[in-house]
Amino acid sequence: MLGTGLSGQLVPCVAHLVSLLLSLSCCWACSCQDTECSTQFSLPGDHLLVGLFSLHAESLEVRHKPTVTLCDRPGSFNGHGYHHFQAMRFAVQEINNSSALLPNVTLGYEIYDVCSESANVYATLRVLALLGTHRGGVPGNLSHAPTAVAVIGPDTTKRAVTTAALLSPFLVPLISYEASSATLSAKQRYPSFLRTIPSDERQVEAMLLLLRRFGWVWISLVGSDGDYGQLGAQALEDRAAQQGICVAFRGTVPASAQPGDESMRSLMRRLAGAGTTVVVVFSSRRLARVFFESAVLANLTAKVWIASEDWAISRHVSKVPAMRRLGSVLGVAIRQRSVPGLRAFEEASVRAAQGARRPCSRGSPRSCNQLCRDCQAFTERTLPSLGAFSMSSAYNVYRAVYAVAHGLHQLQGCASGACARRRADPVELLEQIRKVNFLLHGDSVAFDSKGDPLSGYDIISWTWVSLQWDFRVIGSSTWSPVQLDIDETKIQWHGKDSQVPTSVCSRDCPEGHQRVIMGFFRCCFKCVPCEARTFLNKSDLYSCQPCGKEEWAPRESQTCFPRTVVFLTWHEPVSWVLLAANTLLLLLLAGTVGLFAWHLDTPVVRSAGGRLCFLMLGSLAGGSCSLYGFFGEPTLPRCLMRQALFSFSFAIFLSCLTVRSFQLVFIFKFSTKLPMFYQAWVQNHGAGLFVVVSSAAQLLICLTWLAVWTPLPSRDYRRFPQLVVLDCTEANSVGFMLAFAYNGFLLVSAFACSYLGKDLPENYNEAKCVTFSLLLNFVSWIAFFTMVSVYQGKYLPAVNVLAALSSLSSGFSGYFLPKCYVILRRPDLNSTEHFQASIQDYTRRCGSS
């Protein structure tokens, strides 16, 4: 194994260095002539556990030489660390008395008071000495002195980093009960580090969930000096931006700060000037008390204080005088669990320790960091008021010892009922501890891949009860996935109405309004409504997103809606009316063809143009058939044929009508004046030639239109924001305008020729009806283009059909219906005598004039 090879190479090189360092540190520490070491700090056993606990507070005096701090100083006793110390001893005693866990194997311990960084280094070197001195033992033989197999502690991140760095080359299991910095989760740097307290990474996630739960996005952040406060505050600030939370102000409580000194007064002034309601205090217990004592002096009231786990349920902080008027306190705390029987064990330890002290000599393996004169007095005085925070933290020590015991249980093969009693290699033990998964008083104990526990946090609220603060669990935070569960009814907010305080720079915008940032913070903004065809996505409140091509949105919308695809369908009522009218026109045209064929040799049919009438009726029928292409979903064949076929067919009809009107006018008015032109016109079949040339010109225009400006099915998104109009592209093309302009020219020519023949013989006089029908054509198309300019909806094709149908109907009605009437209803007028009489009368009138 890598760990075994690494430790095997390093131990021979380090052994002499360790011995030298130990000798020097003992010389620095104390002379021991006048000192006694407590027997509670060590216990013999088959396997040794090393405990690192802060039984005394660190001295703040400045030292000018590298000496190990004397921990047992008057007035420096730390009751919180004392409970950790006793929890380890109690756990070892329980395991040694158990027949199920590590049968026929005993655990021993060496416990050190790590009241300072120098004391912590000294204790770590003692671990290395215990590890290196006995590395030469024979496997399977416990006759040699036991070696250290695991370390429990230390408490702070700073000390844990030092200890982990020194022990990592040897892969000695190091399980901390209070060092929560996420830095220690880096397995490349600290491969043997584990802990029974959740990582600050999880704590930060829980805090952010708490802030988001109540909509607090405008906050201040205060961290205490040191790794715990600074790293935790930095992690929260980095993650807050990702959650849309703005840190308006960030401050630091110096390690040397005192209540009300200049540094704290400055911090309070800046905090008050930030204007935030919510303040996250990521701090150690000692500096948190300094901070709140300063806040009381500065009268910084009506705030919501978010507590980190180190002080969230600490009596040391809650007993700050006048703390109540500062506002509400919510916090993240380690799960509140107690060690069953620990209280009784501590009381029994006091009685057992009386008179059980002995002096230590300079050569003793025990150090003067194993001394606690105040332990007995503290236990007798304060056990009845043991705080929930200290008990929960002591439970983490308890869990750590049991995790090592279960790892040893697997390593020694104790599942069969008897352990192998072989020397335990710390490297092998580390692998087993990482795999443990067991229940301890109903609590699951296991580690993830980073060596962090799988337990969550309690969310607590401070409640004022009987003139002092009490801590109430209002919810919990768990992960995988990360979630927060809170009962808001249990929270006692400051203020008369007990409403949830707000902490925002700008109020939330109304629906469909984007946030436009004002200044440097994303939380300070003004609200601007989203324009039509844009929407506000809830995942990005700072910009209105455009809708897709097939979507639409009204102004101030939060979502896009699918556009409705529309076209002129066959089954709509307006389509039924137009289709019925067009079909009726086709039937009339077909009937007229039959009628004219039956009466082809009659004067009325001959005067109307004879066989030319069939070409005119056929062109009208072709134009009428083209109108069916306007109904239904546009396709390429329909787009190619509908407008082009109509334009070409109508051009043939207008050409025939023009030449017919011109021919009558010329015969009656200009034949005698221009005999040569009339003779050439008749001999060269001028009428037919004109119709062919005129129709060919329109055919050429239409073919060019179809080839160059090919009409294609289109999806029009511009007409209506909520509709997709299916249509053809011909209306916007140059070819369409040329074809329409040419028909317009023929229409004007036909109108002019018809108007000139208004005084022709009655039987030949078509001016009134034809002129009226041509005027109706003008009106129809003028109305169509006027409608196109103001209306671009789904019924635009229906308007086009109506205009075209009006043109065809007016042309048929003005030219053919009067003749059909004569044939059917006035046969007396359909005779040669009547036509000759009309001509004679016209000649007589012209001669007399």
Other beta carbons less than 10 A from residue 75's beta carbon: 7
* pLDDT attached to residue 768: 64
Q: Given the structure tokens 């600290």, which residue do they identify?
A: 190
| DSSP one-letter string for 109-166 | EEEEE--SHHHHHHHHHHHHHHHHHTTTPPTT---SPPPEEEEE--SSHHHHHHHHHH
* pLDDT attached to residue 581: 92
Of residues 759, 683, 835, the one with CA closest to residue 675: 683
Average pLDDT over residues 8-30: 42
Contact (CB, 8 A) for 592 and 617: yes
pLDDT of 434 > 90? The answer is yes
In angstroms, rounded to a whole number, what is the distance separating the alpha carbons of residues 205 and 539? 19
In angstroms, rounded to a whole number, what is the distance separating the alpha carbons of residues 694 and 381? 122
Mean pLDDT score of the chain = 81
- Enter the tokens of residue 620: 């009208």
Average pLDDT over residues 260-274: 93
Q: Given the structure tokens 């349920």, which residue do they identify?
A: 313
790 vs 434, more confident: 434
222 vs 691, more confident: 222
Range with the largest mean pLDDT of 112-116, 497-501, 757-761: 112-116
| DSSP one-letter string for 283-349 | --HHHHHHHHHHHHHTT--SEEEEEPTTTTT-HHHHTSTTGGGGEEEEEEEE-----TTHHHHHHHH
In angstroms, rounded to a whole number, what is the distance separating the alpha carbons of residues 787 and 233? 68
Q: How confident is the model at residue 5 (pLDDT cuts 50, 70, 90)?
A: very low
Average pLDDT over residues 76-91: 88
Range with the largest mean pLDDT of 159-163, 462-466, 570-574: 159-163
Of residues 674, 688, 736, 745, the one with CA closest to residue 710: 736
pLDDT digits (tens, 9 = 90+) for 19-29: 444 444 444 44
pLDDT of 430 > 70? The answer is yes
Q: For strand 42-43 and strand 107-113, is the pairing parallel, antiparallel, or unpaired?
A: antiparallel
Amino acid at position 499, single letter: Q
Sheet holding 564-566, edge to edge: 564-566, 723-728, 713-716
In angstroms, rounded to a whole number, what is the distance separating the alpha carbons of residues 633 and 646? 19
Residue 283 neighbours by CB under 8 Å, 6+ apart:
222, 223, 224, 228, 229, 253, 291, 308, 310, 311
* pLDDT attached to residue 583: 92
In angstroms, rounded to a whole number, what is the distance separating the alpha carbons of residues 110 and 53? 11
- Enter the tokens of residue 590: 């077909």
Average pLDDT over residues 659-669: 65
In angstroms, rounded to a whole number, what is the distance separating the alpha carbons of residues 307 and 330? 6
Degrees, nearest 5: CA angle 328-333-339? 130
Average pLDDT over residues 411-423: 86
Of residues 327, 319, 300, 328, the one with CA closest to residue 468: 319
Q: How confident is the model at residue 732 (pLDDT cuts 50, 70, 90)?
A: low
Contact (CB, 8 A) for 682 and 675: no
Contact (CB, 8 A) for 19 and 129: yes
In angstroms, rounded to a whole number, what is the distance separating the alpha carbons of residues 203 and 459? 10
* pLDDT attached to residue 846: 52
In angstroms, rounded to a whole number, what is the distance separating the alpha carbons of residues 181 and 389? 19
pLDDT digits (tens, 9 = 90+) for 818-843: 888 888 877 777 666 655 555 555 55
Average pLDDT over residues 417-425: 85
Contact (CB, 8 A) for 550 and 592: no
In angstroms, rounded to a whole number, what is the distance separating the alpha carbons of residues 268 and 301? 11
Residue 484 neighbours by CB under 8 Å, 6+ apart:
206, 209, 210, 213, 459, 475, 476, 477
Cα 792–chain centre separation:
39
* pLDDT attached to residue 377: 66
In angstroms, rounded to a whole number, what is the distance separating the alpha carbons of residues 30 and 164? 26
Degrees, nearest 5: CA angle 842-847-849? 95
In angstroms, rounded to a whole number, what is the distance separating the alpha carbons of residues 14 and 20? 10
* pLDDT attached to residue 190: 94
In angstroms, rounded to a whole number, what is the distance separating the alpha carbons of residues 319 and 409? 44
pLDDT cut 70: percent of the chain above it = 81
Q: How confident is the model at residue 133 (pLDDT cuts 50, 70, 90)?
A: very low
pLDDT digits (tens, 9 = 90+) for 186-239: 999 999 999 999 998 899 999 999 999 999 999 999 999 988 899 999 999 999
pLDDT cut 90: percent of the chain above it = 30
Amino acid at position 733, single letter: S
20 vs 462, more confident: 462
Taking CA atoms, 98 is separated from 103, 273, 406, in Å, by 7, 60, 12
Q: Comparing 257-271, 381-395, 598-612, 641-655, which segment has the lowest mean pLDDT?
A: 381-395
* pLDDT attached to residue 138: 38
Q: Comparing 476-480, 554-558, 679-683, 808-812, which segment has the lowest mean pLDDT?
A: 679-683
pLDDT of 360 > 50? The answer is no
pLDDT digits (tens, 9 = 90+) for 59-68: 655 555 566 6
Taking CA atoms, 594 is separated from 466, 598, 609, 799, in Å, by 112, 6, 15, 31
In angstroms, rounded to a whole number, what is the distance separating the alpha carbons of residues 812 and 796? 24
Amino acid at position 114, single letter: V
Q: Please, what is the angle between helix 734-756 and helix 686-708, to 10°?
A: 160
pLDDT of 321 > 80? The answer is yes
pLDDT of 144 > 70? The answer is no
Q: Prior bond to 827 cis, omega within 30? A: no
Element of type H or E holding 770: helix 767-790
Q: Given the structure tokens 């009655």, which residue do they identify?
A: 762
